[in-house]
C-alpha cells in the first residue's frame, strides 16, 4: 500500500468517526430539545413544582442551581487559583510535587456518587452542616478544585519565559511578576476553564443527592434575609437542584404531567449547559483579542 493510499484511508476514517460523533451529539440534543421545548413557558420557569397536581414548574429548582453554582465558584476560584499558581511558580520539582499532582489527578476522576457519600459522612454528619446548599457547594468543590488547579497551572506555564525573565530583570518581585505580568496573560485560559467547570457543576446530580438534599422549603422571594430559613439566599437550607429534580420526577413523580415536566426541565438544563460552553468560547476569544490588541 502506497503512502498516499494510506493517508487517504486514515483521513476517511478520521472524518467518518468525527461525523459519527457529531451526528450522535446532534441527535441526542435534538431529541431532548424537541421533547422539552414545547413544555417551557414563563410560568414553567417561575412557578413551584406540584406533587400530585398538574401544572407544576421548576422555579425554585432553577434558582437553587444558580445559587449553588455561585457558592461553589466563590469557594473554588480562590483556592484553585492559589493552588495552581503555587504548583506552577513556587513548588520545587520532586517527589512531593509529583505526589500532589497525582493526588489532584486521582481526585478529578472520582465517581460523583463516591464524592456524595463522602460529603454525607464528613460534611453533613461529622461537621453537622446538614443537607444544605453549603454542603452541596463543598462537595462540588471536590470536583471543581482539581480542574481549576490544572487549568491555572497550565495557563501559567504557557506564559512565555522571556516575559517572566524580563519582568524579574527590571527589579519586580516574583509575586509582582505573577500578578502584573503572568496572570493577565493567562487570564483568558483561566476564565474559559472556569466557565466550562461551572457548566459541569450545573448538571451534577449524584453528589447533591447526599449533600444538598432532595427537597426544598417553600421559598419566600420577598424575604432576602440570609438568616431566615425560608429566604432564597440562606445557604444553610436544603435545596433541590434542577438535575436532582429531573431524577426525582423520573423515579417517583406522581403528577399527571410528570413526563412533560421532566422533558421541559431536561431541555432547560441542556440549554443552560450549552450557554455556559458557548459563553466560555466567546469570552475566551474576547479576552485573547483584547490582550493581543493592548499588547
Give the CA count within 13 Å in the CB-facing half-sphere of 267: 19
pLDDT exceeds 60 at position 39: yes
Residue 61 in contact with residue 245, Cβ under 8 Å?
yes
Same domain, 104 and 240: yes
Same domain, 109 and 202: yes
Residue 184 in contact with residue 294, Cβ under 8 Å?
no
Same domain, 267 and 150: yes
Q: How far apart are the first and last CA of the chain?
A: 50
Same domain, 11 and 107: no
Same domain, 68 and 212: yes
Same domain, 16 and 53: no
pLDDT exceeds 90 at position 23: yes
Of 61, 59, 50, which Cα lies nearest the Cα of 257? 50
Top pLDDT among 43 and 108 is at: 43
pLDDT exceeds 80 at position 292: no
Q: Residues 274-289: pLDDT tens digits?
A: 887 787 778 777 776 7
Kindly indicate the confidence band of residue 27, based on its pLDDT and cuts at 50, 70 and 90. Answer: very high
Same domain, 289 and 250: yes
Measured from the Cβ of residue 6, the count of other Cβ atoms closer than 10 Å reads 10
Q: Residues 165-215: pLDDT tens digits?
A: 888 888 888 888 888 888 888 888 888 778 877 777 777 888 888 898 888
Same domain, 76 and 176: yes
What are the angstrom distances between the C-alpha of 105 and each of 100, 112, 143, 149?
Answer: 9, 15, 11, 10
| Percent above pLDDT 90 for the chain | 9
Q: Tally the residues of the chain.
A: 295
Q: Residues 225-267: pLDDT tens digits?
A: 787 877 888 888 888 888 888 888 888 777 888 888 889 999 9
Q: According to the model, what pLDDT value does residue 177 have?
A: 86
Same domain, 8 and 81: no
State the Rg of the chain over Cα: 23
Q: According to the model, what pLDDT value does residue 16 have?
A: 93
Query: Taking the model in full, what pTM does it have?
Result: 0.85
pLDDT exceeds 70 at position 291: no
Same domain, 144 and 111: yes
Q: According to the model, what pLDDT value does residue 295 have?
A: 55
What are the residues whose beta carbons fall under 8 Å from the beta carbon of 124, sequence distance 6 or more?
130, 131, 135, 210, 211
Domain residue limits at 274:
41-294
| Percent above pLDDT 70 for the chain | 98
Measured from the Cβ of residue 269, the count of other Cβ atoms closer than 10 Å reads 24
Kindly indicate the confidence band of residue 101, based on its pLDDT and cuts at 50, 70 and 90. Answer: confident
What are the residues whose beta carbons fall under 8 Å from the beta carbon of 164, sequence distance 6 or more?
177, 181, 182
CATH code at 249?
Answer: 1.10.3720.10
Please give the full DSSP string across 27-67, using - where no structure is assigned: HHHHHHHHHHGGG--HHHHHSPP-SSSS----HHHHHHHHH
Top pLDDT among 294 and 188 is at: 188
Same domain, 20 and 65: no
Same domain, 49 and 189: yes
Residue appearing with cell numbers 476522576: 109
* Number of domains present in the structure of the chain: 2
pLDDT exceeds 90 at position 20: yes
Q: Which of helix, strand or coil describes residue 224?
A: coil
What is the overall mean pLDDT for the chain? 84
Top pLDDT among 32 and 101 is at: 32
Q: According to the model, what pLDDT value does residue 283 have?
A: 76
Amino acid at each position: 500500500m502506497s503512502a498516499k493510499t494510506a493517508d487517504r484511508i486514515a483521513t476517511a476514517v478520521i472524518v467518518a468517526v468525527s461525523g459519527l460523533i457529531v451526528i450522535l451529539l446532534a441527535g441526542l440534543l435534538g431529541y431532548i430539545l424537541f421533547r422539552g421545548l414545547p413544555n417551557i413557558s414563563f410560568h414553567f420557569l417561575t412557578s413551584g413544582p406540584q406533587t400530585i397536581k398538574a401544572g407544576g414548574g421548576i422555579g425554585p429548582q432553577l434558582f437553587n442551581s444558580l445559587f449553588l453554582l455561585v457558592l461553589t465558584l466563590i469557594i473554588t476560584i480562590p483556592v484553585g487559583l492559589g493552588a495552581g499558581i503555587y504548583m506552577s511558580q513556587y513548588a520545587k520539582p520532586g517527589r512531593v510535587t509529583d505526589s500532589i499532582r497525582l493526588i489532584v489527578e486521582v481526585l478529578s476522576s472520582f465517581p460523583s456518587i463516591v464524592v456524595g457519600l463522602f460529603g454525607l459522612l464528613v460534611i453533613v454528619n461529622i461537621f453537622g452542616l446538614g443537607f444544605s446548599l453549603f454542603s452541596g457547594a463543598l462537595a462540588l468543590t471536590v470536583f471543581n478544585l482539581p480542574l481549576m488547579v490544572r487549568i491555572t497551572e497550565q495557563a501559567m506555564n504557557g506564559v512565555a519565559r522571556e516575559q517572566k525573565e524580563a519582568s524579574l530583570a527590571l527589579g519586580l518581585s516574583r509575586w509582582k511578576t505573577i500578578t502584573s505580568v503572568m496572570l493577565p496573560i493567562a487570564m483568558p485560559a483561566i476564565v474559559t476553564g472556569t466557565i466550562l467547570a461551572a457548566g459541569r457543576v450545573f448538571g451534577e446530580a449524584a453528589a447533591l443527592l447526599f449533600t444538598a438534599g432532595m427537597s426544598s422549603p417553600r421559598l419566600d422571594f420577598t424575604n432576602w434575609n440570609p438568616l431566615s430559613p425560608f429566604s432564597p439566599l440562606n445557604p444553610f437550607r436544603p435545596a433541590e437542584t434542577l438535575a436532582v429534580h429531573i431524577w426525582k420526577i423520573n423515579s417517583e413523580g406522581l403528577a399527571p404531567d410528570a413526563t412533560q415536566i421532566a422533558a421541559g426541565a431536561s431541555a432547560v438544563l441542556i440549554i443552560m449547559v450549552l450557554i455556559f460552553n458557548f459563553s466560555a468560547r466567546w469570552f475566551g476569544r474576547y479576552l485573547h483579542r483584547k490582550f493581543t490588541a493592548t499588547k
